[in-house]
Structure 1
Amino acid sequence: MATQEASRSVVTEASGSYADLAYERIRDRLIMLDIRPGEPINDGKLAAEIGVGRTPVREALKHLERDHLVVSFPRRGTFATAIDVTELSSISDLRQHLEPFAARRAAENALPQVREELRAKAAEVRGLDALGDDRNTLMRFDTSVHRLIYRATGNPHLEDVLIRYDNLATRIWCLVMDRLPDLAHHITEHADLLDAIADGDADRAEQLARDHVAGFESEIRKVL
């Protein structure tokens, strides 16, 4: 009996892990527009590509629907959500409050080992030329910077909300990035922010984050 219960526990844990893996892989494809807005989602194809079963993929898609990255229609299937650039103001309005707050909390709360990660990431940002000029690579790097800052807050609920809105903002960014003249500069701005958080300078971190979000919206509006 105990053996059967342990076996069920392992299966459940593995299924959860596979669903998490599927969620992360599909989310990244949706954010980077590898799955284009409005494109139908083929769960069988995704399962084969990721190397998991259909059940974890379907669980992942339910989570992604809550994130507003996919939408399901009865008898029609599941699709990547369209990108509505008119939502930019609403998304930016939230991020102008949340991102500075997160930067302050990260500066106040980051653990010592996380502060070392922040300093290392700042050094990577300053050496951005090593990444070349591939825009998808640059955008994935930008996403990794934001994820690190959110994790540094030490607040998983705040981190979850921040990731959700950063995902939506990044989709808009990817939609127009070919028309942006200096994508690398937008990312190198993070170096000072990362240093401020690592140094525990909450006031400076908060202001730099606020300026960054405002600059993001301004750059997008120039090309829309």
Structure 2
Amino acid sequence: MEAVIRVTSFLSADVENGNRTNADRAYDHIREQLIMLDIRPGDPINDDQLAAALGLGRTPVREALKRLERERLVIAYPRRGTFATMVDLTDLADISEIRKQLEPTAAARAARTATSQACDELSRLAAEISAVTDDDEPHEVLRKDVHVHRAIYRASGNPHLEDILVSLDAHATRIWCLFLDRLPGVADHVREHIPLIEAIIAGDPEAAAAQTLAHVTGFEQTIRSLL
């Protein structure tokens, strides 16, 4: 059965930028569906269906799928087609090892260098997640988690670090989504970002790094408790 494509809000905060191409827009849409498991692991991906759902041509969709293949979110087989990659739980340790090093670095850097515009965006997100309740739909709550991570990576001002962490967070989120129906306290997990954001806005790199490390470590421990 082919994946059913939903058009939802973009993960990236700058997707409405007029300089973005149709391939960029296709990439953002498809990537979110893959990360949130709206396109399930192992699902075949039909570029005609995607193009029709997104109101785009096949060429930008194919360009987007090539980018997603480099990120290991889809895999193409000759004469078989393109499929969403499986979620490999053995990747958890490897992903967590790198995130524990780089996420605190990004948060500390953001606390030192974030622009006023970045701080305004983080403040807006903090207000948004402070309103999250335990009764909110878990997938929508988790989308807010991804939005906050992306904003912090951008606020670090290091595009190379941002690219690495965006990729790692995508795979971590896919793991999280596998267990979402068994995870208690998803809203609490997302609200953990509030003191982190406050530390960044206050220009406190040590506190920002410590909050981030605790958050990433907690994610790994929570998933391991369910294995």
| TM-score normalised to structure 2 length | 0.89
Stretches of structure 2 lacking an aligned partner (at least 5 in a row) = 1-17
Residue aligned with 2:106, SS: helix
- The match for 2:96 is 92
Q: Is the 8 A contact 1:23 1:57 kept in 2?
A: yes
The range that moved more, 155-164 or 209-218, is 155-164
How many Å apart are 1:123 and its aligned residue?
A: 2.1
| Equivalent position amino acid for 2:213 in 1 | R
Bigger CA radius of gyration: 1
How many Å apart are 1:134 and its aligned residue?
A: 0.3
Which aligned runs of 4 or more in structure 1 are off by greater than 6 angstroms? none
Q: Say whether 1:178 aligns with 2:155.
A: no
Q: Say whether 1:192 aligns with 2:195.
A: yes
Closer, same or farther in 2 for the Cα pair 1:201/1:16, shift >3 Å?
A: closer
Q: Provide the identity percentage.
A: 55
How many Å apart are 1:132 and its aligned residue?
A: 4.3
- The match for 1:147 is 150
Which structure: greater helix fraction?
A: 1
CA distance in 2, matches of 1:132, 1:145: 20
| Equivalent position amino acid for 1:213 in 2 | V
Closer, same or farther in 2 for the Cα pair 1:202/1:78, shift >3 Å?
A: same
CA distance in 2, matches of 1:106, 1:148: 10
- The match for 2:55 is 51
CA distance in 2, matches of 1:24, 1:132: 28
- The partner residue of 1:158 within 161, 168, 175 is 161
How many Å apart are 1:75 and its aligned residue?
A: 1.0
Residue aligned with 2:45, SS: coil
- The match for 1:5 is none
The range that moved more, 16-25 or 52-61, is 16-25
| Equivalent position amino acid for 1:107 in 2 | A
Closer, same or farther in 2 for the Cα pair 1:206/1:50, shift >3 Å?
A: same
Post-superposition Cα deviations, 1:156-205, rounded to whole Å, max 9, x if no partner, equal 11111110000000000000011111111100100000010111100000
Post-superposition Cα deviations, 1:95-146, rounded to whole Å, max 9, x if no partner, equal 10110000011101100121122222222222213x9420111011111111
- The partner residue of 1:61 within 59, 65, 89 is 65
Q: RMSD value over aligned CA atoms?
A: 1.5
CA distance in 1, matches of 2:165, 2:130: 24
Closer, same or farther in 2 for the Cα pair 1:45/1:15, shift >3 Å?
A: farther
1:1-224 correspondence runs (5 A): 17-129=21-133, 132-224=135-227
| Equivalent position amino acid for 1:127 in 2 | A
How many Å apart are 1:15 and its aligned residue?
A: 11
CA distance in 2, matches of 1:175, 1:38: 13
Q: Is the 8 A contact 1:16 1:56 kept in 2?
A: no
CA distance in 1, matches of 2:30, 2:125: 25
